[in-house]
């Protein structure tokens, strides 16, 4: 991806016509990054068995609720849960360059802090006590691609973006109940394909630039993720 971006930048620099550049920094708030939860639970399960000194088979053998696969001990998909906290805050610097007409290419670097808390009143798998699951993720990412700007609609300009990116995250997980307190940490590097729809408004007087963006991403190692964020710009 970085080679592709470098080639684009190099070709643009060879053009006789200067290419206007747009640059801005923005703060965002939106939904938590749930696509990391399965990875976080896998690491927490491994940590649980490592500290208990038992294998998955030995632990589940004496349970009244037997598992077809002992690795399903922390099977979150079948759990009854509610989200108590679910947010992501981020800081990004975005730079774009015109290609032709409404088409431009862009590069973006960002950092995010994701905070997700789940309450599982019926427990998790054969763990029947009420459980609280907390997942914290700190990540940095680099992305780039092309974007198509639309016409102005009610003072907002929509644009559609397509790109590639790579992220690096530190994920901390805590699974706790009256009987358990299991903590784990993992580092995850993941590539993704990005499809975004953004509706933004430029600065008006003392009112900062404002935008609402929806991003659909397909990650290499995790899963699809839909992010909806409110973005507030504070520099151009």
pLDDT over threshold 90, residue 112: yes
| Banded model confidence at residue 4, pLDDT cuts 50, 70, 90 | very low
Among 160-164, 192-196, 211-215, which is the least confidently predicted range? 211-215
Q: Is residue 156 part of a domain?
A: yes
Q: Which helix (H) or strand (E) holds 204?
A: none
Q: Cα–Cα distance between 228 and 197 in angstroms, integer?
A: 10
How many domains does the chain divide into? 1
| Banded model confidence at residue 13, pLDDT cuts 50, 70, 90 | very low
Return the higher-pLDDT residue of 71 and 43: 43
pLDDT over threshold 50, residue 71: yes
| Banded model confidence at residue 34, pLDDT cuts 50, 70, 90 | confident
Q: State the pLDDT at residue 189.
A: 93
Q: State the pLDDT at residue 12.
A: 43
Q: Which helix (H) or strand (E) holds 219?
A: strand 210-219
Give the domain CATH number at 226. Answer: 2.40.160.20
Q: Is residue 128 part of a domain?
A: yes
Q: Which domain holds residue 86?
A: 22-235
Question: Helix, strand, coil shares of the chain as percentages rounded to 5?
Answer: 20, 55, 25
Q: Is residue 63 part of a domain?
A: yes
Q: Is residue 8 part of a domain?
A: no
- Pick the closest to residue 173 from 38, 32, 41, 33 (CA basis): 41
With a pLDDT cut of 90, the percent of the chain lying above it is 33
Q: Is residue 2 part of a domain?
A: no
Q: Is residue 14 part of a domain?
A: no
Mean pLDDT, the chain, integer: 78
Distance of CA 131 to CAs 47, 119, 182, 186, 228, Å?
17, 6, 11, 21, 28
Q: Is residue 1 part of a domain?
A: no
Q: State the pLDDT at residue 93.
A: 94
What single-letter DSSP state applies at residue 125? Answer: T
Both structure tokens of 198: 């953004």
pLDDT over threshold 90, residue 151: no
Q: Cα–Cα distance between 210 and 114 in angstroms, integer?
A: 21
Q: Is residue 122 part of a domain?
A: yes
pLDDT over threshold 90, residue 92: yes
Q: State the pLDDT at residue 63.
A: 47
């Amino acid at each position: 991806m970085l080679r592709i971006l470098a080639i684009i930048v190099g070709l643009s620099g060879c053009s006789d016509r200067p290419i206007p550049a747009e640059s801005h920094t923005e703060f965002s708030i939106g939904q938590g990054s749930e696509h990391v939860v399965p990875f976080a639970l896998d690491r927490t399960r491994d940590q649980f068995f490592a500290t208990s000194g038992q294998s998955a088979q030995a632990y589940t053998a004496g349970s009244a609720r037997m598992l077809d696969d002992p690795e399903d001990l922390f099977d979150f998909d079948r759990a009854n849960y509610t989200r108590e906290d679910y947010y992501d805050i981020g800081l990004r610097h975005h730079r774009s360059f015109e290609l032709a007409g409404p088409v431009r290419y862009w590069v973006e670097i960002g950092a995010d802090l994701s905070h997700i808390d789940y309450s599982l009143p019926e427990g998790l798998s054969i763990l029947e006590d009420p459980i609280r699951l907390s997942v914290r993720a700190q990540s940095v990412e680099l992305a780039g691609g092309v974007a198509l700007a639309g016409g102005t609609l009610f003072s907002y300009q929509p644009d559609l973006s397509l790109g590639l990116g790579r992220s690096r995250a530190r994920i901390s997980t805590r699974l706790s109940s009256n009987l358990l307190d299991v903590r784990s940490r993992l580092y995850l590097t993941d590539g993704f394909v990005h499809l975004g729809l953004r509706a933004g408004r430029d600065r008006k007087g003392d009112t900062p630039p404002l935008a609402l963006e929806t991003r659909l991403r397909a990650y290499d190692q995790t899963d699809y993720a839909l992010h909806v964020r409110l973005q507030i710009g504070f520099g151009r």
